[in-house]
């Protein structure tokens, strides 16, 4: 009897242990399920927040729009559209007296010509500007960093303190960071969002060109962090010009057409002879017309003089 009772007791204890194990595993499974559900909800929330940030805020993060009252220099960086929206914006600032001088950057287009020359010629048509206040910056740089290498030493050589950089809206933050990183403390750079129609930072995802611009700008921004890693600032001695920076007045003197008088004089003489012959013909025709008119006037006078005696005789016969 004692043996059976112990056996039953052992069986009961084992059953209690198995039940407790089952309950524990169920609790653990319930906790795991609740944790996985919470984690999934957290991931979905993070995805929703990230989506909102990407669609609503990431376009604005690329844009650096500074306030300005007066700046002595404005630099029109290369890469504007055929509308030349940056040139128009700079021309308006120059007319309003917000800026004093303009730097027009342009990449090499032909063997000895650059886009800065064409931009400057168009710019001068926008108003009566001082030719000595408009500067051409020809370059052969494939990137914004290379443009900074061309421009920054020249700015430092003239001790320029503040420069307004005009570029695309999506490039303003990146461009400002590049120039500040390579310049150090001076000059101070400002950027403006010129609100061109190709990009709206608040709703960049609505337009195909805006989406392309957004993607390229973020890729260029990440690449600029790599390019500028552990790089030194530029000084006046680091200047490396493709061509010297010069004013529009100097450019006009340089590209003024050279006249070869020896080739032009024979043509001028021929033209003078032709004009003189035309004048002689005109004079002869005029004199001929005058002579003919005088002869026509004399002829009726003679005729009237001849007819007067006959008329008198006829009148006498009628009276008789």
Query: What confidence tens digit (pLDDT) does each residue in 22-42 have?
Result: 666 666 666 667 777 888 888
Distance CA 197, CA 179 (A): 26
d(CA 156, CA 239): 10
94 has pLDDT over 60: yes
Q: What is the mean pLDDT of the chain?
A: 80
Which of the 8 DSSP states describes residue 141? Answer: -
194 vs 298, higher pLDDT: 194
Q: Which letter does DSSP use for residue 55 in this model? A: I
User: What pTM was computed for the model?
Assistant: 0.66
Scored b (16 or more CB within 10 A) or e, 274-305 reads eeeeeeeeeeeeeeeeeeeeeeeeeeeeeeee
pLDDT of residue 312: 47
| pLDDT at residue 92 tops 90 | yes
E strands in the chain? 71-76, 99-107, 134-139, 162-166, 188-191, 246-247
Interval 244-263 mean pLDDT:
74
Return the minimum-mean-pLDDT range out of 36-50, 138-152, 195-209, 298-312.
298-312
Q: How many CB atoms sit inside 10 A of residue 59's CB?
A: 24
Q: For residue 102, give the 3-state DSSP assignment.
A: strand
Comparing 59-73, 179-193, 220-234, 260-274, which segment has the lowest mean pLDDT? 260-274
- Asked whether residue 203 carries a pLDDT value surpassing 60, the answer given is yes
Higher-confidence position of 127 and 288: 127
What local confidence, expressed as pLDDT, does residue 258 receive? Answer: 53
For residue 203, the number of C-alpha atoms closer than 13 Å in the C-beta half-sphere is 3
Rounded-to-integer distance, Cα 138 and Cα 106, Å: 5
Work out whether strand 71-76 and strand 246-247 pair parallel, antiparallel, or are unpaired: unpaired
Closest CA to 202 of 55, 78, 317: 55
- CATH fold, domain 71-254, is Rossmann fold (3.40.50)
pLDDT at 76: 94
Query: What's the rounded mean pLDDT across residues 217-232?
Result: 90
Is residue 4 scored above 50 in pLDDT? yes
Spell out the domain ranges in the chain. Answer: 1-61, 71-254, 263-320
Residue 256 has pLDDT above 90, yes or no: no
Q: Once rounded to an integer, what is the mean pLDDT over residues 93-119?
A: 89
Q: What is the pLDDT of residue 142?
A: 82
| pLDDT cut 70: percent of the chain above it | 74
**% residues pLDDT > 90 (the chain):** 26
Six token digits for residue 205: 């995802």
Average pLDDT of 161-178?
A: 92
Q: Regarding predicted confidence, which is higher, 139 or 298?
A: 139
């Amino acid at each position: 009897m004692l043996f059976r009772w112990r056996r039953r007791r052992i069986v009961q204890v084992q059953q209690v242990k198995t039940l407790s194990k089952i309950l524990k595993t169920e609790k653990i499974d319930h906790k795991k399920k609740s944790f996985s559900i919470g984690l999934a909800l957290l991931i979905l929330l993070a995805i929703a927040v990230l989506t909102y940030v990407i669609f609503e805020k990431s376009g604005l993060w690329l844009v650096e729009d500074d306030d300005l009252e007066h700046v002595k220099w404005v630099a029109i960086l290369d890469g504007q559209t055929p509308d030349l929206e940056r040139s128009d914006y700079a021309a308006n600032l120059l007319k309003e007296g917000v800026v004093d001088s303009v730097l027009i950057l342009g990449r090499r287009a032909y063997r000895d010509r650059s886009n800065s020359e064409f931009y400057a010629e168009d710019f001068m048509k926008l108003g009566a500007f001082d030719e000595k206040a408009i500067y051409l910056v020809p370059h052969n740089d494939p990137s914004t960093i290379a443009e900074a290498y061309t421009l920054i030493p020249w700015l430092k050589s003239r001790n320029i303190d503040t420069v307004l950089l005009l570029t695309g809206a999506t490039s303003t933050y990146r461009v400002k960071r590049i120039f500040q990183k390579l310049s150090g403390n001076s000059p101070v750079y400002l950027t403006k969002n010129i609100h061109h129609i190709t990009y709206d930072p608040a709703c960049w995802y609505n337009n195909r060109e805006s989406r392309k611009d957004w993607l390229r700008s973020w890729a260029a921004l990440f690449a600029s962090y790599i390019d500028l890693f552990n790089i030194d600032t530029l000084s006046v001695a680091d200047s490396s010009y493709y061509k010297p920076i010069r004013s529009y007045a100097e450019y006009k003197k340089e590209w003024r057409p050279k006249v070869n008088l020896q080739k032009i004089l024979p043509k001028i003489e021929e033209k003078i002879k032709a004009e003189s012959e035309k004048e002689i013909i005109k004079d002869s025709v005029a004199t001929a017309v005058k002579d003919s008119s005088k002869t026509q006037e004399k002829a009726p006078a003679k005729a009237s003089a001849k007819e007067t005696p006959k008329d008198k005789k006829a009148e006498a016969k009628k009276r008789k």
